Amino acid sequence: MKLTFSPASPFARKVRIAAIETGLIDKIELVPATVAPGTANDAYTRDINPLKKLPVLILDDGDVILDSYVIVEYLDDLAGGGKLIPASGPARWKAKADHSLLQGMLDSMLLCRYEKMVRPQGLQWQAWYDDHWNRAWAGMARFEQREDVLSGPFNVAQIGLVCVLGYADLRFSDCGWRKAYPKLDTFNQKMLERPSVKISVPPPA
Amino acid sequence: MKLTFSPASPFARKVRIAAIETGLIDKIELVPATVAPGTANDAYTRDINPLKKLPVLILDDGDVILDSYVIVEYLDDLAGGGKLIPASGPARWKAKADHSLLQGMLDSMLLCRYEKMVRPQGLQWQAWYDDHWNRAWAGMARFEQREDVLSGPFNVAQIGLVCVLGYADLRFSDCGWRKAYPKLDTFNQKMLERPSVKISVPPPA
């Protein structure tokens, strides 16, 4: 299998962590890819993903699996199921809903990044930036209260949360999340003891 | 259960179709909600979804399920499983990946809408609009070739596709998708024979 990949992408990091944790990382070739709004990448759009996003998992028969969450589900299933996503019951829906919230937080953080770093300066709209940053920030506030996630079993919600915090460090390094959310800080430090989490920390920008 | 809802939202439409098709619609109270970037909705953000997005399914015990895809999965599971999402095998991953592509197309179409209708006029960036519109358009081109989806069994990918096309009619009525993609047109007409699809067509803007 091949995975389109960038070390700075929190979505790709999520899949990398999942691949390590399910023992499948050695079956996956990481293929570097670069995508950005406003910059064409016709080969990628035509052959791999019309959405011009990564990561995408390309199976040996050529089928493509997206998005990052579905790839995590696929890897979990390949590894027998129930390792990263609880197999059934309320815990399953809680983990899935938590992950969707974290995914939306990452989407908003990426929109903030594009607003400041990709959109031409005179065309930036502060209210858009603030709105999306508030979503990420309010999401962190919610997880600060979620003792069940912070101390619970390792799963896709914990992976998503560590990717949010790592991306905050990479792109919003002065946002002060550690001070505002001390429980997330403790959680993050604990997570960094896992090799999969530690090795996938994005390199400094 | 309660579902935060807007008749113009293609994401909410997807859940409504799924709820009808799984026979669960009578157990769900549709709760009107209004959310837009740049406009605060503090009660919604605080009590329901920090992402300020709809739809959200609120269970009777107060737990919230997001996003629209996870809600569809939840309803499918409640109804016994395998009705809207194949339960296993390659068909499962194909339907999930197809849905993710369609979801990304809707996300891009919504970004186009916000760019033109919500962002102040002097701050609009045509390259951003074009980039995201191209993602939706290239996605339609891909599904135009997907005989297996267009003629296949009713599932979450077909629901997603009909929501994309309905949203194109609602917000991009002069984009010419019917002429460019005649197979999607035939598919859409056939889908409109289903009561769940017909009743959920967004009202004219």
Contacts 24+ apart (CB under 8 A), B77-84: B78/B22, B78/B24, B79/B22, B79/B23, B79/B24, B83/B21, B83/B22, B84/B18, B84/B21, B84/B22, B84/B154, B84/B155, B84/B156, B84/B159
Do A43 and A137 reside in the same domain of the chain?
no
Cβ contacts (< 8 Å) between B141 and chain A: which residues? 50
Do A155 and A178 reside in the same domain of the chain?
yes
Amino acid B19: pLDDT: 98
Do B59 and B16 reside in the same domain of the chain?
yes
Amino acid B134: pLDDT: 97
Q: In the predicted model, what is the mean pLDDT of residues A172-194?
A: 98
Quick check: is B125 in a domain? yes
Do B116 and B180 reside in the same domain of the chain?
yes
For residues A132 and B38, what is the distance between their CA atoms, to the nearest angstrom?
9
Do B182 and B114 reside in the same domain of the chain?
yes
Residue in B41, B27, B35, B26 with CA at minimum distance from that of residue B5: B35
Do B114 and B189 reside in the same domain of the chain?
yes
CA distances to A33, A54, A55, A72, A150 from A36, rounded to whole Å, are: 10, 10, 13, 23, 33
For residues A124 and A105, what is the distance between their CA atoms, to the nearest angstrom?
20
Residue of A103, A108, A127 lying closest to B38 (CB–CB): A127
Quick check: is B205 in a domain? no
Quick check: is B62 in a domain? yes
A201 confidence band (pLDDT: 50, 70, 90): very high
For residues A53 and B80, what is the distance between their CA atoms, to the nearest angstrom?
33
Do A68 and A102 reside in the same domain of the chain?
no
Q: Which residues of B, range 141-160, sit inside 8 Å of A by Cβ?
A: 141-142
Render pLDDT for A6-47 as a digit per residue (tens, 0 to 9).
999 999 999 999 999 999 999 999 999 999 998 999 999 999
Quick check: is A205 in a domain? no
Q: Which residues of A132-166 are buried (b: 16+ CB within 10 A; e: fewer)?
A: bbbbbbbbbeebbebeebbeeeebbbbbbbbbbbb
Quick check: is B95 in a domain? yes
Quick check: is A171 in a domain? yes
pLDDT of residue A143 exceeding 90, the answer is: yes
Cβ contacts (< 8 Å) between A90 and chain B: which residues? 63
Closest chain A residue to B67 measured between Cα atoms? Answer: A100
Amino acid B44: pLDDT: 95
Closest chain B residue to A77 measured between Cα atoms? Answer: B88
Residue of B93, B100, B142 lying closest to A67 (CB–CB): B100
Q: In the predicted model, what is the mean pLDDT of residues A84-104?
A: 97
Amino acid B41: pLDDT: 92
Divide the 205 residues of chain B into consecutive groups of 10 and give the mean pLDDT of each group.
Answer: 97 98 98 92 93 97 96 98 96 98 98 97 97 98 98 97 98 98 98 98 90
Quick check: is A204 in a domain? no
Whether A51 sits inside 8 A of B135 (CB atoms) is: yes
Whether B45 sits inside 8 A of A105 (CB atoms) is: no
Do A113 and A182 reside in the same domain of the chain?
yes
Do B132 and B173 reside in the same domain of the chain?
yes
Do B156 and B106 reside in the same domain of the chain?
yes
pTM score = 0.98
Amino acid A53: pLDDT: 97
A177 confidence band (pLDDT: 50, 70, 90): very high
| 3-class secondary structure, B36 | strand
CA–CA–CA angle A44, B102, B78 (5° rounding): 135
Domain endpoint, select from A45, A78, A111: A78
Amino acid A204: pLDDT: 87
pLDDT of residue A144 exceeding 90, the answer is: yes
Q: In the predicted model, what is the mean pLDDT of residues A61-84?
A: 97
A205 confidence band (pLDDT: 50, 70, 90): confident
Q: Could you give the number of structural domains in chain B?
A: 2
Do A55 and A113 reside in the same domain of the chain?
no
Range of the domain at A7: 2-78
Amino acid B204: pLDDT: 87
Q: Which residues of A, range 1-60, sit inside 8 Å of B by Cβ?
A: 37-38, 45-46, 49-53
Residue in B62, B60, B79, B70 with CA at minimum distance from that of residue B19: B79
Do B120 and B35 reside in the same domain of the chain?
no
B140: domain CATH number is: 1.20.1050.10
Residue of A51, A63, A128 lying closest to B119 (CB–CB): A128
Quick check: is B102 in a domain? yes
Task: Give the number of residues written for chain B.
Answer: 205
Query: Side-chain half-sphere of A175: how many Cα atoms within 13 Å?
Result: 21
Using DSSP bridges, classify how beta strands B29-32 and B57-58 pair: parallel, antiparallel or unpaired: unpaired
For residues B164 and B140, what is the distance between their CA atoms, to the nearest angstrom?
9
Whether A125 sits inside 8 A of B119 (CB atoms) is: yes
A47: domain CATH number is: 3.40.30.10
A148 confidence band (pLDDT: 50, 70, 90): very high
Domain endpoint, select from B29, B52, B78: B78
Whether A67 sits inside 8 A of B104 (CB atoms) is: yes
Domain endpoint, select from A19, A47, A78: A78
Residue of A64, A94, A139 lying closest to B50 (CB–CB): A139
